Every structure is written in C-alpha cells, then in structure tokens.
Amino acid sequence: MGKINLQMYSFMDGMMNDSRENFRRAAEMGYDGVELFGPDFEIPAEELKALLDELNLQPVSLHAPKTEMVEGLIPFANTLGMQFIGIGMEVLKDEESVHSFAKTLNRIGKACAEKGLMLTYHNHTQEFADCSRIGSVPGATGAAEEKQAAGEACVSVQPENRHAAETALDGSRRTNRVIDVLMQETDPEYVSFELDAGWCAAAGFDPIAFVEQYSGRVKLIHIKESSRVVGPQPPMDFSMLPRDENGAPIFPEDLKKTMEDLKRINCRAGEGLVDWKALKETADKNGCRAYIVEREYSVSGNRLNDLKADLEHYRTQIS
C-alpha cells in the first residue's frame, strides 16, 4: 500500500492520553505518518515538528476540533509542513445548513489555499443521507426506520458473510445526498474530501464507486473497517447535551449505547465490507494522495495490539 499513516484519534481508549508518547508508539509500530487531532495541538508547533522529525513521522494532515478553529490552525499546519488541513465533522441539521456549510467550506478553503494548504472534509454516515431528509436527533439510530420511510431496503450484513456484505453496497451514482451537495457546491480549487471508506460502507454505499464518481476530489482516505451496513445515521449534536462541572458533555444512556454500537462495527482488519485492494487501485488512479488508518474500537481489548495488527495486514495484504 506504500505509506500507511495513522489518525492519532485511534489512541483514544481512555488509557493513552500522552500525545508525545503516542507519537512514539506510532513510530515504533512502523506507521509512516500521522494525522493530528485535538490534544496534539497542545504541543507547541516547533517542538512537535522536532519530535516528528526525530521519529521520522510525516505530518500528513490534521482535524480541527471545530470548523471555526481551522483558520487559527493554519500557522500550526504550516510550521509542520503539512499539505492538508481538515474538518472532522460538522453537525448538519437540515438542508439549509448543508448549503450554508458548503459556503463556509469555500470561504475557509480559500483562506487555506492562500497559505499553501488544501482544506478537506471528513465524512461519517450522515453525509450519505438524502439532503432533503437529514435531521439531528441525538441518540436516535433511525437506520431501519429512515430507509423504510424512504421506501428503501434496509440491509443488515453480518461480518461472517463477507461476500454478501460486499455485494450489498450501493454503487449507483447519486446526486441528492448531503455529500453530493457538498461536492457540487464547493470549489475544487479550495475544497477536497477525506473519504472515510468505513463510514461510507456502513452507510450502505460503495467507496470505490464514490471515488470514481468524484474523481480528483478525494485526496485522503481513512482506512477503517465496518462489519455491516447500518444506513445513514442522524448527526449527533453534542452541543445540545448538558455539561458536568468540568464542561464535559453528559451523555444519556441511550446515546451512550448508540455510540458504542456504532463503534463495535469497527471490526478486525480484512473482515469488513471494503475491498481495500480494489479501492486503492481506483483511488491511486483518481488523485488520492494518502491513506490513513483510523480505529474506533478495540476488537482484541488492547488498542495497541489492534493498531499493530491493522498495520501488518495492510502492509502485507494490500500491494
């Protein structure tokens, strides 16, 4: 697969909270580069650059904690010598918010381009919902109900039935999903996309067909396994949740369960819905620049063991 990078969020298991040590762990495992997120920005940029140089880790990209923080992180990204700066998620509550967000992406993307950076947007499953029906219902799963309401079949695929899983993915060309609208209404000169292939497949769509449909727009790909199709999930607006004395969100039990259930579809490397070899062949031909492993769930109960197994699989099984 060539160079394989790691999204540093993958260390978030509640135990490994030292960013500096996590960078060392990534290097020791053999990852070639990293994509940064929240806690990593607490390290001064010059210090972090020296650390990554020492560890021979390429800083590929970063995810800003919030959309409005992207422009403030441009100097940080420039100091590290990155090419990409990204938005990990936006809560898109309705069709109007989708169109408004496209304008925001163009504005921020232009500011990034003026400083030599390409802005990317990273998807979850919500972006594969029909744009006219997207809604924000914290804690609701809604997959079967949403598809039934739309007259669509809701496909639930067990991980052991891999052939059925692969053939269940929708490869048709769509134009009315949230992700389609964002593609259509953003300027390719300023805005590219980081396709999370695992969430794309979990939403029920074929990432290979998606990359072909939007040739040249997908610059980064998240390598994430998903064991089954759950359909486009409603966005989770954590800003609406009550907070504890430290300002952390207090999650209702039903929302906790929903989040845990979604994480659990992140299965072992090679056991999910995506044909990674075929996806890489297609993505390489259509402008993808980097591949980044992201792990949401510890299948073995040990996050480091899972990340090592992920790297070993993708290194040896995918040319």
| pLDDT one-digit tens code per residue, 96-108 | 999 999 999 999 9
At 183, give phi and psi (nearest 5°). Answer: -65, -45
pLDDT, tens digit (0-9, with 9 covering 90-100), for 150-193: 333 333 333 344 444 444 799 999 999 999 999 999 999 999 99
Helix (H, G, I), strand (E, B) or coil at 233: coil
The total of structural domains in the chain comes to 1
Nearest Cα neighbor of 178 from 66, 91, 287 is 91
Return the ∠ at Cα 230 (arms to 260 and 131), rounded to 5°: 110
CATH number at residue 34: 3.20.20.150
**Position of tokens 């999910």?**
272
Kindly report the backbone phi and psi dihedral angles of residue 112, in degrees, each rounded to the nearest multiple of 5, phi listed first.
Answer: -65, -45
Show the domain range for 234. 5-317
Average pLDDT over residues 29-43: 98
With both helix axes pointing from N to C terminus, report the angle between 303-317 and 19-29 in degrees, rounded to the nearest 10: 40
237 pLDDT higher than 70: yes
Report pTM. Answer: 0.90
Residue 75 near residue 37, CB atoms below 8 Å: no
> Which H or E element spans position 84?
strand 84-87
Q: What is the pLDDT of residue 235?
A: 84
**211 and 288 in contact (C-beta within 8 Å)?**
yes
Which tokens go with 241? 């949740």
For 156-275, where are the alpha helices, taking DSSP H only? 162-168, 178-185, 197-202, 207-213, 253-264
> Which of 274, 271, 269, 316 lies closest to 294 in space, CA to CA?
269
> What element of type H or E holds 87?
strand 84-87
pLDDT at 139 over 60: no
